[in-house]
Structure 1
């Protein structure tokens, strides 16, 4: 039997067991705050963690510890079987002052994972960024910085010994041309700092799998080849390294054609591979065509991992656009994750599910099945009146609707008619009234509201209807 078949056969047994375990985890999750039933997908919708387990891999998400409650926490616990702290385990977060440690954020992530039957990917022990000033601006000899680095690893990895599945021990050690990044560790210690860090991590937590993680190494190129040569050299030296992380911060239309071949060549070095920080960004506001392409590309990345026996799993770098780093770092880009800002699944979510073996029921693809017109009819001082028209552009009747959007300029709804409108922060949801729940193909419904504004009254640029992205009319 091939290794892939062995993995799948073993996973079938694990999935059968997980149905019992998962039931207990779901019962535990139900003790916390839950969204209204209408806010969640029907029970028949795919569950990514279960589909992934059936393929012998995990499907995870990066999380923000302070948000692990309410709808965000519920979806995290239900849909994913691995979580990565986005920032809470980085050096600057846990040891901002030398010898003084803050563990509250990291503890919250690990505790949440254990309560929901999830593994944890530790991120990250040694990285050139988000370092405290005392490390990045210190005056170091090779020996003194090596001691500081290995002490930090011993303390952090040791604290969570036996509770972390994978550690990103060293993060982003290469430049784009494949040369070593001149971090404080590289310049003070030299090439050996990576091996030193891996050995320290193994001593601190012998059970955790140890990874080197980098970006723009998803396809075969100079940078990924440098990483390949590093792993090969470390293996030849007997340095403990268990895996390679391919971050996969991708741009729509730029998924490498050599992704699967690249995963395979690392696997052939006798190490595991993981897609560790997947998102696929696009210019915003997104069009229906962009969302459809994003679905296909999430599906392709997931399928590439499933196809290689030693690809351990995939982590999306935040599952919802409301918790994505992309808009803050790439002007004009966003919509990079599988869920929109209102926690509604986007087509990308279904693309992932399909790559994991979920079979669609054959209904038409929802992308572009609705069109929304938004118009401010009057505006005064700090108030305004707006009208919204929702048109069913599909060939299937809609029975019950919820239109969601986010305010771009801090507006709020104060009164509404022909719909029930609720707001949480910038996120707004308008639900049908009893008399306008049905929208026939080609037909439209209209509702209106009064709102308040301060400083600006910019119109929303994107709407979703029952989780489907709509075009603007």
Structure 2
């Protein structure tokens, strides 16, 4: 097995990749400047973008994204604020090869192309995991030799497809139990612990320029699980297995940032590997309020400061930057509001916690506001389903009216939870008799079906 540092050619290719990424960041400055002035969703544009604050400290600030949403305000913010993108689901095995031998690269390709157009790195996620694998794989009956061949071919196919375009791969994801023993998975049970070393070796062969990571959760502080990961990385390096970094996911709970976070980052760095905060979000019990948001800001600031304090902590990625694109509420009922932006794309105190930890001077948005955000939930050849969510923070509503103007001939055909009327391109929706009140910290939503042809751009909405 070949060490990640033993080949001067592979070292040169990875250094060249970093140089190209840095050049792309500089070249994209004009693009970023134009994005920062576009649309009400980037009203905090006077503040230095997180990606620039991070770059000044030698850190890449990133976000996980959904490829289908990379338009409008979501796309503007993703491109302007972040220096790297992680496909949330688009590169997982179940997404790219849903049927054996039949591949779907569309969303992954879209994210990579978007990142390249905006001077961003891409973190590949993930090549080997126990979850979100295709049914044909998990439902099959494989000999160890067959399973090994399937895994090797998958890594070679996916990492090879994006060769030279991925800054880092989460090669192996979540290999440990909480007590530090190996998780019982298709891979561990079928191939033994050396599936990890083999996966790293195959990934290096497929893409010598990419940094190779092992990624896990609940390993942010010093504990049994993080110590098992530490011992694995040390052993892999001693054996000459290619391993460049460790990913600490950091799916945290409000007020529970580990006291040993920085110490833990440093001990991995002392092994001679890079460290990335790969999936940061900090969830709270809903509804949010000013005290919880203040604590969340302090927590985001503490995590960012811990990374900023260690030279080899090279990347801090939030797992979705807006609450409308977060996994938390569907996974942890009654909890949410875990990201730096609210569902209306307004920066929360958490955003400013990250910024301040990176040395930024920011101007918080005005308090006491209610906002409305328009999203397309699903779309087909001639129609789509839309949704508008109204949210209040430091203010409340006893009734509401939302208006917008379509720019491509869309026509509303049906609405629910609101009384909607359309005249020409102008749409006006008022609350129903039962949902006019929106309390401080609360929200209401309404939906509609509409037709479209030729294009379906998202309009700017006004709450009156």
Q: CA deviation at 1:136?
A: 1.4
Q: CA deviation at 1:251?
A: 0.2
Secondary structure of the 1:266 match is: helix
| 150 and 360 in structure 1: CA distance in 2 versus 1, 3 angstrom threshold | same
Does 1:92 pair with 2:94? yes
- For residue 32 of structure 2, the aligned residue among 23, 26, 49 is 26
Q: Give 5+ residue unaligned stretches, structure 1.
A: 1-12, 371-401, 411-423, 431-441, 466-473
- Match in the other structure for 1:325: 327
Q: CA deviation at 1:39?
A: 3.8
- For residue 256 of structure 1, the aligned residue among 246, 255, 258 is 258
Counterpart CA distance in 2 for 1:114 and 1:337 is 24
- For residue 425 of structure 1, the aligned residue among 361, 384, 387 is 387
Secondary structure of the 1:296 match is: helix
Q: CA deviation at 1:316?
A: 0.1
- Match in the other structure for 1:114: 116
Does 1:205 pair with 2:207? yes
Q: Give 5+ residue unaligned stretches, structure 2.
A: 1-18, 378-385, 402-417, 420-430, 444-464
- Match in the other structure for 2:11: none
Question: Is the Cα–Cα contact under 8 Å of residues 64 and 86 in structure 1 kept in the other structure?
Answer: yes
- Match in the other structure for 1:173: 175
Q: CA deviation at 1:445?
A: 10
Secondary structure of the 2:215 match is: strand
- For residue 232 of structure 1, the aligned residue among 231, 234, 245 is 234
Counterpart CA distance in 1 for 2:128 and 2:68 is 23
Question: Is the Cα–Cα contact under 8 Å of residues 279 and 317 in structure 1 kept in the other structure?
Answer: yes
Aligned pairs (5 A) from 1:134-149: 134-149=136-151
- Match in the other structure for 1:59: 61
| 207 and 449 in structure 1: CA distance in 2 versus 1, 3 angstrom threshold | closer
| 42 and 288 in structure 1: CA distance in 2 versus 1, 3 angstrom threshold | closer
- Match in the other structure for 2:447: none
Q: CA deviation at 1:449?
A: 3.6
Bigger Cα displacement from structure 2, 445-454 vs 326-335: 445-454
- Match in the other structure for 1:348: 350
Q: CA deviation at 1:339?
A: 0.1
Secondary structure of the 1:345 match is: coil
- Match in the other structure for 1:399: none
Counterpart CA distance in 2 for 1:19 and 1:62 is 18
Q: CA deviation at 1:18?
A: 7.5
Aligned pairs (5 A) from 1:288-307: 288-307=290-309
| 28 and 105 in structure 1: CA distance in 2 versus 1, 3 angstrom threshold | farther
Q: CA deviation at 1:461?
A: 5.3
| 35 and 28 in structure 1: CA distance in 2 versus 1, 3 angstrom threshold | closer
Counterpart CA distance in 1 for 2:211 and 2:25 is 26
1:229-255 CA distance string (max 9 Å, x none): 110111111000000000000000111
Bigger Cα displacement from structure 2, 132-141 vs 349-358: 132-141
Question: Is the Cα–Cα contact under 8 Å of residues 128 and 183 in structure 1 kept in the other structure?
Answer: yes
Does 1:404 pair with 2:397? no
Counterpart CA distance in 2 for 1:328 and 1:173 is 24
- For residue 125 of structure 1, the aligned residue among 121, 127, 131 is 127
Secondary structure of the 1:357 match is: coil
Counterpart CA distance in 1 for 2:433 and 2:237 is 59
Counterpart CA distance in 2 for 1:309 and 1:344 is 31
- For residue 185 of structure 1, the aligned residue among 184, 187, 190 is 187
TM-score scaled to structure 1, two decimals?
Answer: 0.76
- Match in the other structure for 1:5: none
Aligned CA-pair RMSD: 3.0
Q: How many residues align?
A: 388
Q: CA deviation at 1:207?
A: 0.5
Question: Is the Cα–Cα contact under 8 Å of residues 15 and 53 in structure 1 kept in the other structure?
Answer: no
- For residue 340 of structure 2, the aligned residue among 314, 329, 338 is 338
